């Protein structure tokens, strides 16, 4: 209900909800202060965030960017979590947030540089996959050279197939995500043959039991991305459980 009240800009309702907490999370208390332009409360909360060793600064940044579209304030809040005194996972999370924030502004080059800084940080893992996801976003103009470099980085990644049976959901998804992204990146590069090869490899992979239909849907979307951009007719599929096929040109 808190986020609904924020979306409706009903900050009296937000205050009423926060009053039910003995001490509400900093991110939930900070957003109304930024929304109201309460400089005194904002300075007080920023001081609290500066001394805190938690992710509340970057969570606050996410709220300010999402609900207020104040990207400059969001950036300043996220940078509080880059302090050396912060634990490495917190610092890495803040740097990745800054990369995505640049992408939200439509700044591919700045986002790419932010991802590169994240790759150099202590405990960095999975940055290549996040950057690859970013490179497939349809609203970004990504240079072909960057797409090729990113695809090569993802190809070099250890697919982690040995951890599929023993790891959690993220570990189980990693090999599938890698193939999915390789197919999408190949499609964006105009390399349809390679895109189809990775999509076929994804379909052939052994899948975790719970969401048995999920991977096939991923492949359909992957192939659809290539088909719809290259063919005069949209992709056709009898249902969502089978791969889409590209209708021939007339």
pLDDT at 250: 40
How much is the pLDDT for 224? 59
Supply the pLDDT for residue 171. Answer: 77
Question: Considering only CA atoms, which of 120, 172, 127 is closest in space to residue 150?
Answer: 127
Alpha helices in 71-191 (DSSP H): 71-79, 88-104, 108-119, 127-135, 144-156, 169-188
Q: How big is the chain by its Cα radius of gyration, in Å? A: 21
Residues 159 and 198 sit within 8 Å (Cβ to Cβ): no
- The answer to whether residue 3 scores a pLDDT higher than 60 is yes
pLDDT at 215: 54
pLDDT of residue 164: 47
Helix (H), strand (E) at residue 19: none
SS3 17: helix
In which band, very low, low, confident or very high, does the pLDDT at 248 lie, cut at 50, 70 and 90?
Answer: very low
Structure-model confidence comparison of residues 234 and 184, the more confident one: 184
For residue 181, the model assigns a pLDDT of: 96
The pLDDT of residue 24: 86
Higher pLDDT, 171 or 146: 146
Pairwise CA distance, residues 197 & 204, whole Å: 11
Closest CA relative to residue 184, chosen from 198, 205, 201:
198
Note the pLDDT tens digit of each residue in 185-241.
999 999 999 999 999 999 998 877 655 555 556 555 655 555 545 444 434 443 444
Residue 41 confidence (pLDDT): 87
Domain boundaries, the chain: 158-250
pLDDT > 70? residue 161: no
Q: What angle do CA 92, 94, 99 make, to 5 degrees?
A: 95
- Please report the pLDDT score of residue 243 as a whole number: 40
pTM metric for this prediction: 0.76
pLDDT at residue 85 is higher than 50: yes
Could you report the per-residue pLDDT of 31-69, keeping only the tens digit for each? 989 999 889 988 988 888 888 878 889 999 999 999 999
Decide if pLDDT at 247 tops 70.
no
Q: What is the pLDDT of residue 241?
A: 41
The yes-or-no verdict on residue 170 having pLDDT over 60 is: yes
Task: Tell me the pLDDT band of 115, cut-offs 50, 70 and 90.
Answer: very high
- Among 2-11, 52-61, 158-167, the minimum mean pLDDT is found in 158-167
């Amino acid at each position: 209900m808190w986020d609904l009240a924020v979306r409706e800009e009903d900050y009296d309702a937000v205050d009423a909800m926060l009053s039910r907490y003995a001490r509400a999370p900093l991110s939930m208390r900070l957003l109304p202060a930024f929304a109201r332009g309460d400089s005194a409360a904002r300075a007080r909360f920023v001081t609290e965030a500066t001394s805190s060793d938690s992710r509340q600064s970057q969570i606050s940044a996410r709220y300010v960017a999402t609900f207020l579209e104040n990207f400059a304030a969001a950036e300043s809040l996220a940078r509080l979590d880059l302090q050396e005194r912060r634990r490495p996972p917190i610092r890495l999370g803040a740097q990745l947030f800054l990369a995505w924030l640049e992408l939200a502004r439509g700044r591919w080059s700045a986002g790419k540089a932010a991802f590169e800084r994240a790759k150099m940080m202590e405990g960095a893992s999975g940055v290549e996959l996040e950057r690859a996801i970013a490179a497939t976003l349809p609203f970004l103009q990504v240079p072909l050279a960057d797409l090729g470099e990113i695809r090569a980085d993802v190809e070099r990644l250890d697919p982690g197939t040995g951890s599929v049976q023993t790891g959690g959901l993220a570990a189980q998804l990693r090999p599938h995500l890698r193939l999915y992204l390789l197919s999408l990146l190949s499609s964006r590069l105009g390399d349809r043959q390679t895109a189809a090869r990775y999509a076929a490899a994804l379909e052939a992979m052994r899948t975790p039991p719970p969401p048995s239909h999920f991977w096939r849907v991923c492949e359909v979307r992957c192939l659809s991305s290539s088909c719809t951009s290259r063919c005069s007719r949209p992709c056709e599929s009898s249902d969502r459980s089978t791969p889409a096929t590209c209708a021939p040109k007339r």
